[in-house]
Amino acid sequence: MRIILLGPPGAGKGTQAKRIEERYEIPQLSTGDLLRDAAKRKTPLGTEAKAYMDEGRLVPDPLVVGLIVERMGLPDCASGFILDGFPRTVGQAESLEKELDRKKSPIGAVICLRVDREKLIERLVGRRICPKGHGEYHLRFRPPKIEGRCDVCQTELVQREDDQEDKIRTRMKAYETETAPLIEFYRDRGLLKPIEAGGTVDSTTQQIESALNAA
């Protein structure tokens, strides 16, 4: 099964993709994670991408498309994958369609998560991460046992550079102008599955599973 997870920043794409990955045994391909990893390793692509990401702007299409096409070619993607954060522009969607047509392995469903703007902002400004990779916390929804410290390694938690309020506004705007047109793009192709994702993580997962089972 090949699935796209579409939705604004903070809609829960990453959270839900991990659950679908386990449930359907297909890998989660997150362009955000791939780009952050490349930035951490200071590859030329990662260094270029970081400048855009830190400001909340989209990374140019050619960089992202190359990265994801390479990732989709690895053996673990043979029986499917879930795309988290890709495509994000009509140009990316067209490149993806061309690549998958070439492989005769089309997308089966596009899950589109919808959440009110105030909730999205609350989710993002409260997110904290362990710099040593022990996962994510949230000031309100998943607070650490000791304030500001990772439960596993006690390292001081940090905020993602692009989770500051001004960067969040830039990310939201990029979503509205560049990514939202994909809703029509995939509705026209009969693939769109809209999901109300403002409730709990479990309720969103249940809706996604029902939509996928009916696809």
**Does residue 80 contact residue 3 with C-beta atoms inside 8 Å?**
yes
Q: Kindly tell me which residue out of 2, 13, 50, 193 binds ligand AP5, with binding defined by CB under 6 A.
A: 13
- Residue in the structure block whose two tokens are 């829960």: 12
Q: Is 127 a catalytic residue?
A: yes
The count of residues interacting with ligand AP5 (CB under 6 A) is: 33
Say which of 2, 19, 171, 193 is annotated catalytic. Answer: 171
Tokens of 122: 């609350």
CB 191 within 8 A of CB 107: yes
Give catalytic status of residue 140 as yes or no: no
The correct pick among 78, 146, 201, 215 for binding ligand AP5 (CB under 6 A) is: 201
Contact code string over 31-60 relative to ligand AP5, x by CB under 6 A: xx--x----------------xx--xxxx-
36 catalytic per annotation: no
Compute the residue count for the chain. 215
Catalytic residue list contains 88? yes
Name the residue with tokens 């969607």.
93
Q: Name the DSSP class of 155.
A: P
If we measure between CA atoms, which residue out of 94, 44, 49, 50 comes closest to residue 69? 94
Q: Which is nearer to ligand AP5, 123 or 193 (CB)?
A: 123
Q: Residue 164: enclosing H or E segment and its boundaries?
A: none
Residues that bind ligand AP5 (CB under 6 A): 7, 9-15, 31-32, 35, 52-53, 56-59, 64, 85-86, 88, 92, 123-124, 127, 136, 138, 141, 162, 171, 200-201, 204
